[in-house]
Amino acid sequence: MIVNNIDLEGKTVLIVGAGGGIGRRAAELFSEADANVVISSRSEPELMELEYKLNTNGNQNILALAADAAVETDVEALVDESIKKFGSIDYFVHTAGTGVLKPFANITPADFDNLINANVRTAFNVLQAVLPQMAAQKFGRVVAIPGILGKAPMMQASVYCAAKYALTGMIKCLAQEYKRHGVRFSLMHFG
């Protein structure tokens, strides 16, 4: 199927954070466009339910793999299995993340580490795994969704904003670094 003049049939889309919300809806839309869809989340029950829904809607090219994208070995297995099944990863959609809203004085070191890991480390790990393959094939599309907190401050969201700003900055830098390799990056700042 062609969506916005883009033929997605036979293209492989990896969606990290597909267990709910934006990631889940992205999986549904890419599936409707006849793409090969790899869905990943830490929550296996949510993934299995989504995989069943996508399969019953007619797309048999679905691969569901539970993985913690903040863990390098999980990401390596995720990317290896995806390429083994579909041959390549053409699109990567990063929707993984979490937030904590509380006064800065109440943020703990554990909160800080969790926010950086969930919002930045997850993207970093997957990008480290998929960008060499995308660059080698001279094609790749990366969509990261830091939301509005990736470009606008908010009270009681200092570390959450810091994580989202870091994701935004990393994606903007990678866009410059990889444009000569045919890899394009997009940021979505809605909210």
pTM across the whole model: 0.94
Examine the pLDDT at 1 and tell me if it is beyond 50. no
Examine the pLDDT at 58 and tell me if it is beyond 80. no
Choosing from 52, 91, 160, 178, the catalytic residue is: 160
CB 38 within 8 A of CB 6: no
160 is catalytic: yes
Amino acid 5: pLDDT: 65
Per residue in 129-169, pLDDT (tens digit) is: 999 999 999 999 999 999 999 999 999 999 999 999 999 99
Per residue in 88-137, pLDDT (tens digit) is: 999 999 999 999 999 999 999 999 999 999 999 999 999 999 999 999 99
DSSP 149: G
CATH assignment of the domain containing 145:
3.40.50.720
Q: What is the share, in percent, of the chain residues with pLDDT greater than 70?
A: 97
Enter the tokens of residue 7: 């033929």
pLDDT average, residue stretch 53-61: 83
pLDDT average, residue stretch 52-71: 90
Exposed, middle or buried by CB within 10 Å (0-12, 13-18, 19+), for 55?
middle
3-state helix, strand, coil in the chain (%, to 5): 50, 20, 30
What is the distance between the alpha carbons of residues 98 and 19, in angstroms, rounded to a whole number?
13
Enter the tokens of residue 117: 């890991």
Number of domains in the chain: 1
Domain of 66?
2-187
What is the distance between the alpha carbons of residues 191 and 188, in angstroms, rounded to a whole number?
9
How many Å from the N-terminal Cα to the C-terminal Cα in the chain?
29
